[in-house]
Amino acid sequence: MRLAERTTTIEPLTSSATFAVFGAPPPALVAVPADAVQLSPMRPGSAALEDCEAGQFAALAMLAPPGTVERRYTLALGLRAVEPGGMFTALAPKDRGGSRLKKELEAFGCALYETVKSHHRICALKRPAVITGLSEAVAAGAPRTIEPFGLTSQPGVFSWDRIDPGTALLARTLPTLSGKGADLGSGIGYLARAVLTAPSVQHIALIDLDRRAVDAARLNVIDPRAEILWADVTNADAPLSGLDFVVTNPPFHDGGSEDRRLGQAFIRRAAAALRKGGALWLVANRHLPYETVLADLFTTVEVKAEQSGYKVFEARK
């Protein structure tokens, strides 16, 4: 049966001192106090949901993530962080996990009210005293060592259980780098580890928007020449200048939709950070039109490798 469209906003508790939010639920769908405690790993500086005490909040609103394992992990931790009887609201686009929310929350022992609005499924409930299957869901979504490459990762991180083929191609194509550089969108540190095999590298800043990737990189990259930062590359949160090199496999999806502006923003950030003569090494899906922005910002641009739908550029400033 198709759920009726609602025009009302689900109103969780409004005691902002005890209200938490995960992600950025659309304000037209869930009312969130401006000073609510932010818990998303994709918001630099946020508190970690994993570190919240049981029953810490009177209410929590969550834009649930799309991946099944990641979503159940996040839902379980969110439910644990709300006091028994407190208000928990979870929502997601119908085609990005929203259609499964009701059953997943019911499997935790929750009785809930579900509605649909603006292509989102919205589930509102009072947190039960007992949550069924919490420890199993948390264990399934927790960080772990991934074989065969032996690095720490976690469900929800980009390409969490395999080496992205574009990143692997860039790592194979890189020359021996030297001096000071940065890895923009560094993930769990695979590419930076390849860069650091060169003794001529003096320093590399690893910068990523995802705290989970940053936490994993801190376990995977223990070289003292590495500095690992949780920051938004596109907002220039981390000051970078005078670099000899930048390596990157920039993202091109935002909220599940392709957004070519993301990769272009990474390219502009790299150009601003490099010294004259410095080099950007970038891998991208072949269909992404980065040549124009590269040509506008760099003196020379060369394609150094093409394979399996990817291309590697070297751009000299």
**pLDDT by residue (tens digit) across 271-288?**
999 999 999 999 998 888
Summarize pLDDT for 126-135 with one digit per residue, the tens. Answer: 999 999 999 9
Percent helix, strand, coil in the chain (nearest 5)? 30, 35, 40
* Coil/strand/helix, residue 264: helix
pTM reported for the whole predicted model? 0.91
Categorize the per-residue pLDDT at 11 as very low, low, confident or very high, splitting at 50, 70 and 90: very low
Examine the pLDDT at 238 and tell me if it is beyond 70.
no
Examine the pLDDT at 15 and tell me if it is beyond 60.
no
Categorize the per-residue pLDDT at 9 as very low, low, confident or very high, splitting at 50, 70 and 90: very low
The set of residues, in sequence order, having a beta carbon less than 8 Å from that of 132 and lying 6+ positions away, is: 107, 108, 109
Pairing of strands 57-63, 19-22: parallel
The set of residues, in sequence order, having a beta carbon less than 8 Å from that of 277 and lying 6+ positions away, is: 316, 317
- The whole-number pLDDT of residue 154 equals 98
State the average pLDDT over residues 66-84: 97
Closest listed residue to residue 15, CA positions, set 46, 36, 40: 36
User: What is the spatial distance between Cα 137 and Cα 79, in angstroms, rounded to a whole number?
Assistant: 12
Examine the pLDDT at 254 and tell me if it is beyond 90.
no
Closest listed residue to residue 189, CA positions, set 154, 209, 145, 219: 219
State the average pLDDT over residues 209-225: 98
